Amino acid sequence: MAKAAKKKEVEVKVIQDPDAPIPVSLLATHIRDVSESFRKAIGTGLTERGLVLLIHDASGVGKPQIRAILNSLPDLKRLYTR
C-alpha cells in the first residue's frame, strides 16, 4: 500500500515598505492577471511539459515543484479574488 505524502506547511512572509502599502485591489488585479496569462499561454500550443522544461532549464528549480506551481496558477483567481 502506498504511503500518503505529507504536505509541508510553508510560511510566506511578504515584506513591503510600511510607508507605501500595496492596495488590496492592486494585488487582486495582479492575481487575476497571472491566472489569465497562464491560461492564455497554455492556449498557444506550448505543452505543459515544454513549459516545465523551459522553466527548469532557466531556473534549476525541480520539475515536481514547477508542475505543482503551474497546476495551481489557473485557480489563483478563483481562490484569492472575489
Write the Ramachandran bin of 73: left for phi over 0, alpha for psi from -120 to 50, otherwise beta: alpha
pLDDT of residue 38: 82
Helix, strand, or coil (residue 76): helix
* Residue 15 CA, distance from chain mean position: 18
pLDDT digits (tens, 9 = 90+) for 20-72: 777 888 888 888 888 888 888 878 888 889 889 999 999 999 999 999 988 88
Question: Residue 4: is its pLDDT beyond 60?
Answer: no
- Identity of the amino acid at 30: H
pLDDT of residue 19: 82
What is the value of pTM for the model shown?
A: 0.58
Helix, strand, or coil (residue 30): helix
pLDDT of residue 14: 65
d(CA 75, CA 81): 10
